[in-house]
């Protein structure tokens, strides 16, 4: 569908159409109509499960990033330390 006011550009508005959002809306509808008798924790579980999975991925990503930064820091420190030790040994 073209928008005549935007010079022919089309825009798509995405409102909760991802899978966890769809499941949450479906579960809420089923809960409110009485088709399921789950607790609200399970009705809203697609939201908190998605948050937990995203948290795990971010934790792994930042752990790998931190490991890389720490290794780089130790490489720089070890080269400084090696040059310091060499300078001490050469002065004797």
Sequence-distant (6+) residues with CB within 8 A of 43 are 24, 27, 28, 30, 31, 36
For residue 33, pLDDT over 70 is answered with: yes
User: How far apart, in whole angstroms, are the C-alpha atoms of residue 38 and residue 46?
Assistant: 13
Give the mean model confidence (pLDDT) for residues 30-52: 94
pTM equals 0.57
Q: How confident is the model at residue 14 (pLDDT cuts 50, 70, 90)?
A: low
Query: What mean pLDDT, rounded, does the chain reach?
Result: 80
- Let me know: does 8 contact 15? Beta carbons within 8 Å: no
Give the mean model confidence (pLDDT) for residues 50-71: 88
């Amino acid at each position: 569908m073209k928008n005549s006011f935007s010079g022919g550009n089309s825009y798509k508005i995405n409102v909760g159409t991802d899978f966890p959002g769809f499941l949450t809306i479906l579960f809420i509808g089923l809960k409110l109509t009485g088709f399921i008798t789950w607790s609200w924790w399970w009705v809203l579980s697609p939201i908190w499960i998605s948050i937990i999975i995203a948290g795990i991925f971010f934790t792994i990503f930042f752990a790998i990033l931190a490991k890389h930064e720490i290794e780089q820091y130790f490489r720089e420190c070890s080269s400084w330390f090696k040059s310091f030790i060499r300078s001490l040994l050469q002065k004797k």
